[in-house]
Structure 1
Amino acid sequence: MAQKRFTLSGSVRDAATGETLIGASVRLESATGKAGAITNAYGFYAVSANEGTYTLTISYISYKTVVQTIVLNKNINLNADLQAGKELQEVVVKAGERKNENVRSPQMGVERLDMKLLDNIPVLFGEKDVLKTIQLLPGVKSGGEGTTGFFVRGGASDQNLILLDEATVYNSSHLLGFFSTFNADAIKNVDLYKGGMPAQYGGRLSSVLDVKMDDGNNKQFSMQGGLGLISSRLKVEGPLIKDKSSFMISARRTYIDFLLKAAPDTSIRGNTLNFYDLNAKVNYKFDDKNTIYLSGYFGQDNIGIKDLFDNSWGNTTGTLRFNHVFNSRLFSNTSLIYNKYNYTVKLIDDVNNFTLTSLIRDINFKQDFQYFSNKHTLRFGIQGTHHRIAPSDISTSANSSFNPLSVENRYGLETSGYISDEYVVNPRVTLLYGLRVSLYNLLGPGTFNTYAANGDITSSATYGSGKSVSNYFNLEPRFSASYIINDENSVKASYNRNTQNIHILSNSGSSSPTDQYVMSSNNIRPEIADQVALGYFKNIQDNAYEFSGEVYYKTMQNQIEYKNAARLIANANVESELLFGHGRAYGLELYAKKTKGKLSGWISYTLSRTERKFNELNNGNYFPARQDRTHDVALVAIYKLGKRWTLSGNYIYNTGNAVTYPAGKYQVGGNTTYFYTERNANRLPYTSRLDVSATLEGKDTGKRFHSSWSFGLYNALNRKNPYSIDFRDVASDPTRTEAVQTSLFGIIPSVTLNFKF
């Protein structure tokens, strides 16, 4: 006779703060069988098993494990509050997941970042940085010295979907990339998907960086922050109604501009160089089945030289989210999301003065469901996003040498639906498969041109507001599978297709504030990527050591390049400057990590190739993409010296980016003009850097107040790494040419005082 099955469900939270714990392990075990689940992105879990008596184990890294006996004879709702364990005399380098999740999970190419780890990673100016840290992982390449732009498995920087509480962040950097937009104090969880992307994500080709903010402490008020050499930060959180409602506010600001005012050199007084950002979140728990969240982010950068220019740019996001538990098996999340990115460039001298503004704005609705069955976990949902892009608007004064210009706004509507299933076929085999369906519509009003290959207009049509100009329909299958050889070994495989309808036009190697955004149109087709990957995963010594190796191959359609001497900014016919072709990327990623003990850390190595092919370039042959680098190595070591001191360091080495050097030169009117042959046929010199840091924890007085000091040296070996190389005539002999390397940083010390109470 068939046995009855029942479901145990609920939420897992931090007992001290009320924060939901993402990735906590829930296990049911008895003499006749066992079952398990992992809490989802909202801290909810559901696990089904046959009727019977079980030992329930709920665990999370760095928290005390809860073990109890439970009689499962009906559907049960059980919420668990876990107590943080005593401070260990070691550093644990691991996310809060079950011990061998990297072996057992069918998901490939995913990295979950423990926010506590950031306290010990040396970074520029001593500022904890999510984006700098993920660039130390295999398959993730830095966009360059001092930047937060990154490339994943051969993709360009605009092919990464960056989410903050489900809202898209289009520019993730402050101060031209020296800092990221993510204030680590306000962040609870970071997931990076670089392969086998789940079906609930879409709109980008290469990766998803899913960042979630802290909900706020609903038990007691607390405050934390840090005072650094050039920036400071402060976070305040606490209950509005204890155990039911809480808030979190976190702010950060640099004060370089204040230091400039006190500079002895009067020529730099009055110059502008600063950024500030604000994270805020509030929630209210109606009951165990209904919770509402409201979160937002605002960030602004300002850079300017008095009487010459003034640049500013910033992101604004807002997310209203409602969680509802229909029953022990069905979980729902409904989201209304707003995000905007805008920039302003001003020239303010007496003659060449103008103001250029641009923005991209999205309004997004999402409805997601998660259904837990006996051997299945189903996810399904819908999403709709309305885009508005204002490419360029130039205003001038009466005596300006520039003419006013306004490029028409563009509007688009992206709708999608998805379904995926994680199916536990048997204790050894798990499948994760799904399908995403996407429909994109370019909408009026406006005049839309069609261009020939030489850039000439072949036709033009005007459309009214809301009228469909062009549309694209795509199916995006996703598939991953894992075979568990034993508790310590597994192999995984994946295939996924992704499409992208928002594109960046930029001549720089990584993102910059003045990047121009365009949508798919009658001239620009959606970018499409197909990726296959195969991996082997192994843990040893009770999961203290983790090893993995993955290989991947990716093909890309409708890739975008620019014609020689293309004019991208303030060009109403910018689509006439574009070329379209194909791309491919393939590589090997090796990863070894020590997760426990006084000495912990990891080594990552990536061997890869990234190429593009355009009929109009390089005689139609494949050539290296700008982000192509053969070798990338990262070594991270963290050592717990004692109760109070933690030492850490990281070393990176990577092959130089692909660039195009001049093949010759000639004189025109007394000026030197260079000519070029093959695209990206040369290399910048390699990059090598050692960063070190030390953290001194304050004495444990038994009181709530706690402090620590962080000391760091960025580029401790003072190596002059290449940022760019320019060519010029030798002053003493103009017939000869010399290459001039520009480097951004030498050795940079940092000191930060951190506090919490």
Structure 2
Amino acid sequence: MINLIRKSLLILLILPFEMFAQSDKLTVSGYIKDNKNGEGLIGASIFVKELMTGTTTNTYGFYSLTLPKGNYSLIISSVGYRKSIKDIKLIDQNVTLNVEVQEDGQELAEVVVNAKREDDNVQAIEMSVNKIDMKTIKKIPALLGEVDLVRAIQLLPGVSTVGEGASGFNVRGGGVDQNLILLDDAPVYNSSHLFGFFSIFNPDAVKDVKLIKGGIPAQYGGRGASILDVKMKEGNAKKLEINGGIGAIFSRLSIEAPIVKDKASFIVAARRSYIDVLAKPFLTGDNADSKFSFYDLTAKVNYNINQNNTVFLSGYFGRDVFGNDFGFNWGNSTLSARWNHVFSSKLFLNATAFYSNYDYLLDSDLANKRPNNAFRWTSNIENLSFKPDFTYYINPENTLTFGGQVLNYDFTPGSATASSNGDKRTFGSAPKNAVEYSAYVGNEMKVSSKLSLQYGIRFSRYDYTSKEDVYYERVKVGISDEFPSGYDINTKPNDPNKVLQSYQNFEPRFSMKLETSESSSIKASYNRMAQYIHLMSNTAASTPLDVWTSSTNNIKPQLIDQVALGFFKNLGENEYETSVEVYYKDLQNQIDYADRSDLFLNPEFEKDLMFGKGRAYGLELYGKKNKGKLTGWVSYTLARTERLVEGLNNSDWYPNRYDRTHTLNVVAQYEVNKKWSFGANFAYISGVPYSLGKAQGYYEGLPIGITDNGVRGNVRVPSYHRLDISATKKNKKALFGKGESEWVFSVYNLYNRRNPFSIYTRPKEESAQSQVGVVQNEAVRLSIIGSFIPSVTYNFKF
């Protein structure tokens, strides 16, 4: 089967490009790996001294260079590793050169900020991209001392959140649903534990983190704002390695080891909180069986079949559980199977098949004490996909990428069963199905020593079907209490085997880099993204109860166009990195909600949706110190994100609910010696807008705020600011007198700031007794974390 695929692809895809190859050229290719654990190095540099040209390794550590015949010295380098020089002879045949590089002991005495080329900020064609090494993330002071990937990226320019206790993050004016979060190529739909206080990513299992905010390459699609691409470790192929930590709120443990040395390895990492265990002695009566915990399990195994074939199998399973008799739980499950195949020294394949599921459950009778009087609510989104990605290394000046994907969606926006005295009633939103097809081609080309281009196009098609009656038409009926959006929905019987609606889009991508000197460059990019799925949420912050739904005949896909321009400059032999970027985004088919919208368990929720357009624009400043005892970065973002929806805010532009004008982050890490290091980060963020009712009326007996002429975003939450500090003490020994360990002491929110999460209104006491007509309101500020939080964590490795 492999041979058949190989021959077919060589004939159909490779031969047309052989016009670029010359008979007097040969190719050197192979893998660059860490000699301690056998992990492939991402972005390692391979430089040909004699020709002043080179390349970098891909996500799996593979590289390919086509050169004129001759003798060459290859310089292999990566930050944190010793340079390695290999002499090769390209005389009469292609050469396979695999290299294992050694960590630089002197470099390890400093804080390593990047796992990439030292001048990558200037030389790489990509812009609006941030990569953070896990060593750096682990040194950032964190809530309760627990290392958190998602909280770390919120310290980068262009990234924010609506507040503490909110799930997900926002990038350049985009919603939480506009971020494609990938864990070993499988999408994750809720990246948070404990209502947003921690992320689902176990730091002991993460190998690489890459956030793409603009200039998005053609191989990515399906979301409008950003790509967070997280790669898991492959497991130590050299020896047994155990990592773990004991913290104030949860503990973690990971084990990685070779199955067959240098051929196959695995990693298993687990975490579990123990809030419920610590609290149990204090819970009595009806609360004795209360559950509030979270856990996750991450695992991966890989097998290097031979020089040309490697297979990987990885998975994640995590869950949050809260409640007593009335229970609430949610979680993600993913499974990825990947095959890396080297067809030739120039053609590399990564084929991925994955399964992903996100679901939540509300159950009023977890203990089955009242089966005849219960309520059960479920919702989920499920994916199954196959995705081949090819890379063809034409020559050092041209790298071609192409591939495609078939992605199946199953949506259950909300299904509920209520039992009362033995009578059951089932209600909710109809399940939906869809298939997204996509294909792409892209090329990275070095036009000259100064100018490089990356361009491509992606084509996507989305077919929507439904197993139940279809809401085939939105009918304008006028705004009223029953129809707050002014629309009703007509229905008709549906054929579940018939495609109800198809959408298709071309998504062009373009990036350019012009070197203005050896240490500076100007970059520009444009990309169009089509997003076919939507997160239904009319609250200020995303929650686990939000509903994922499909584009339908009534809901069009979101279309986002972004342009960006930046200047990048390195100083002091790459000790300092600086950048300035500006961007503008045009957003079409954006969803907002009428006042009093009913989204949950509403089979006709489409009638409460309102559609319009958006715009987002901003300035991002970034400065980073990479070397020395003191390292870190400063980022500042000046931004605006707005919506225009007919019928809302007097049909004028209004700030979106996650609009933040100013965001300032300062991250500093100081290594005193090999034993002690310190960290600090400061965050200042402008408040988000909200709609504050000046007075209050009643709707069906419930209080509602009344704003002037339905104004949106008429007030802002006060600004947010916070300082965190940490100290790390390294020990010579770990458990049982072996390995190594460290104590991490940290204080979150050092100066005890009561940052507001939201503002809500309630009737003033003197007018609350009257529910007739209008009563006066008072504003109440809600803080999720209202004090400083000290913590101690013990980490070990052996």
Give the shorter-chain TM-score range. over 0.9
1:430 maps to what in 2? 452
Instruction: Kindly report which structure 2 residues correspond to 1:83-482, keeping only aligned pairs within 5 A, or say none.
Output: 83-86=102-105, 88=107, 90-263=109-282, 268-304=287-323, 306-307=324-325, 309-348=326-365, 353-374=374-395, 375-399=397-421, 403-449=425-471, 450-454=473-477, 459-482=490-513
Match of residue 718 from structure 2: 685
Change (3 A) 1:191 1:485: same
Structure 2 contact 433–464 (Cα < 8 Å) conserved: yes
In the other structure, the counterpart of 2:752 is 718
User: Is the Cα–Cα contact under 8 Å of residues 733 and 741 in structure 2 kept in the other structure?
Assistant: no
Deviates more, 1:405-414 or 1:447-456: 447-456
Q: CA deviation at 1:465?
A: 3.4
- Contact between 1:222 and 1:236, CA under 8 Å: does it hold in 2? yes
In structure 2, relative to structure 1, the CA distance for the partners of 1:183 and 1:548 (3 Å cut) is same
Q: Does 2:575 correspond to 1:552?
A: no
1:672 to partner: Cα distance: 5.6
Separation of aligned partners in 2, 1:293 and 1:18: 14
- For residues 24 and 701 of structure 2, what CA distance do their matches in structure 1 show? 90
Q: Which moved more, 1:659-668 or 1:420-429?
A: 659-668
**1:425-446 Cα distance to aligned partner (Å, 9 max, x none):** 1111000000000000002432
Distance between the aligned counterparts of 2:232 and 2:701, measured in 1?
Answer: 58
Q: Which residue of the partner structure matches residue 68 of structure 1?
A: 86
Q: Offset at 1:663?
A: 2.6
Cα 1:257–1:730, aligned 2, differ >3 Å: closer, same or farther?
same
Paired residues of 2:374 and 2:420 also in contact (CA < 8 A): no
Q: 1:376 to 1:131 in 2, by over 3 A?
A: same
CA displacement 1:36-73 (0-9 Å, x = unmatched): 11110111111222222222111111111111322232
Tell me: CA distance 1:229–1:672, structure 2 relative to 1, closer, same or farther (3 Å): closer
Q: Which amino acid aligns with 1:525?
A: K
Residues 89 and 598, structure 1, Cα contact 8 Å, conserved in 2:
no
Q: 1:670 to 1:50 in 2, by over 3 A?
A: closer
State how far apart, in whole Å, the 1-side matches of 2:724 and 2:794 are. 19
Counterpart pick for 2:518 among 473, 487, 495: 487
Q: What is the correspondence of 1:518-537 to structure 2 with a 5 Å cutoff?
A: 518-537=549-568
Matches of 1:680 and 1:24, distance apart in 2? 47
- The more displaced of 44-53 and 243-252 is 44-53
Q: Quick one: which of 708, 723, 728 aligns to 2:742?
A: 708
Identity over aligned pairs, percent = 44
Letter paired with 2:759: I
Kept in 1, the 8 Å contact 2:392–2:401? The answer is yes
Shift of 1:419: 0.4
CA distance in 2, matches of 1:568, 1:216: 44
- In structure 1, stretches of 5+ residues that fail to align are none
Partner SS state of residue 500, structure 2: strand
Residue among 52, 61, 80 paired with 1:43: 61
Give the deviation of 1:265 after TM superposition: 6.6
Secondary structure of the structure 1 residue equivalent to 2:615 = strand
Contact 2:554 2:606 in 1 (8 A): yes
Normalising by structure 1, report the TM-score: 0.96
* Aligned 8 A contact 2:373 2:418 in 1: no
Q: Secondary structure at 1:498's aligned position in 2?
A: strand
> How many corresponding residue pairs?
753
Aligned-partner residue type, residue 708 of structure 1: E
Bigger CA drift: 77-86 or 164-173?
77-86
- Structure 1 CA distance for aligned equivalents of residues 247 and 306 of structure 2: 42
Tell me which residue corresponds to 1:516.
547
* Contact 1:93/1:594 (<8 A) preserved: no
Cα-to-partner distance string for 1:289-322 (whole Å, 9 max, x where unaligned): 1000000000011011x34x21001100000100
C-alpha contact 2:489 2:607 (8 A) present in aligned 1? no
The alignment partner of 2:469 has SS state of strand
Residue 402 and residue 140 in structure 1: after superposition, are their counterparts in 2 closer, same or farther (change >3 A)?
farther
Deviation per residue, 1:398-451 (Å, 9 max, x gap) = 338984315321100000000000000111100000000000000243221121
1:19 pairs, out of 30, 33, 39, with 39
Contact 2:419 2:425 in 1 (8 A): no
For 1:491 and 1:703, the matched residues in 2 are separated by: 53
Q: Show CA shifts across 1:151-191 (max 9, x none).
A: 10110111000000000000110111111011111000011
- Tell me by how many angstroms 1:147 deviates: 3.3
Q: Is the 8 A contact 1:260 1:271 kept in 2?
A: no
The reply to whether residue 539 of structure 1 matches residue 557 of structure 2 is: no
Q: What amino acid is aligned across from residue 227 of structure 2 in structure 1?
A: V
Shift of 1:16: 1.1
**TM superposition outliers: structure 1 runs of 4+ over 6 Å:** 349-352, 667-671, 700-703
Amino acid at match of 1:743: S
Q: Aligned to 2:430, what secondary structure does the other structure show?
A: coil
DSSP-derived class of the 2:105 partner:
coil
Check 1:673–1:577 CA distance in 2 against 1; reply closer, same or farther (3 A cut): closer
Per-residue CA distance 1:364-423 (angstroms, 9 max, x = gap): 100110000121111000101010011222122333898431532110000000000000
Residue number in structure 2 paired with 1:656: 687
Structure 2: runs of 5 or more not aligned? 1-21, 478-485, 769-774
- The CA deviation at 1:341 is 0.5
One-letter amino acid matched to 2:778: E
Distance 2:206 2:517 in 1: 35
AA aligned to 2:414 is: S
1:692/1:390 CA distance change after superposition, 3 Å? same
Indicate if the aligned counterparts of 2:537 and 2:547 stay in contact, CA closer than 8 A.
Answer: yes
Separation (CA, whole Å) in 1 of partners of 2:495 and 2:310: 41
Equivalent residues in 2 for 1:727-742, closer than 5 Å = 727-732=761-766, 734=768, 736-742=776-782
In 2, are the aligned partners of 1:650 and 1:690 still within 8 Å (CA)? Answer: yes
Deviation at 1:632, TM superposition (A): 0.2
Deviation at 1:733, TM superposition (A): 5.9
1:108 is paired with a residue of what secondary structure? coil
Matched, 1:9 2:29: yes
Moved more, 257-266 or 277-286: 257-266
Shift of 1:269: 3.5
